[in-house]
Amino acid sequence: MSIPTGTAHSESVVVSEANLASAVGGGLVDVYATPMLVALCELAASNCVKPHLEAGEVTVGTKVDIEHSAASVTGMRVTATATVTAVDRRRVDFSLSVVDEAGEVGKGVHSRFIVDREKFIARAAARKA
């Protein structure tokens, strides 16, 4: 497995009623919810490294540090870009940038670990037992 530093991927969403703060329990305002922004960033990061993984491997998020600095309203397109900044064995670090049509709405860092999907699920299930 080789994931080059600088590898980047973007994901976009159009703000709808379903992903507003008022709809997901993040407050009483009708703007794009911070938890949805975090999820969009994780999706961008996950899809960024997906082509570099071996069969049976996936990534799981382990750290997110995001500043949500501006509000996006219904109908605006929000785009998150994840860029690989470091790879240390199975840990992949990303810088995150989030924009809408009006400019920057967020930025931060994120870490994911590469795991064997089946083993990871088995270990998670064993925690319940």
- Element spanning 12, H or E: strand 8-14
Residue 68 a catalytic site member: yes
Active site residue 9: no
**Choosing from 9, 68, 81, 83, which is the catalytic residue?**
68
Q: Are β-strands 57-68 and 77-88 bridged in parallel, bridged antiparallel, or unpaired?
A: unpaired
If phi over 0 gives left and psi between -120 and 50 gives alpha, with beta otherwise, what is residue 6?
left
Catalytic residue status for 34: yes
Catalytically annotated residue among 7, 34, 79, 85: 34
Helix (H) or strand (E) holding 7: none
CB 60 within 8 A of CB 116: no
Nearest to 11 by CA among 79, 107, 59: 79
Q: Which of 9, 11, 42, 110 is catalytic?
A: 42
Residue type, 20: L
Which residues are annotated as catalytic? 34, 42, 68
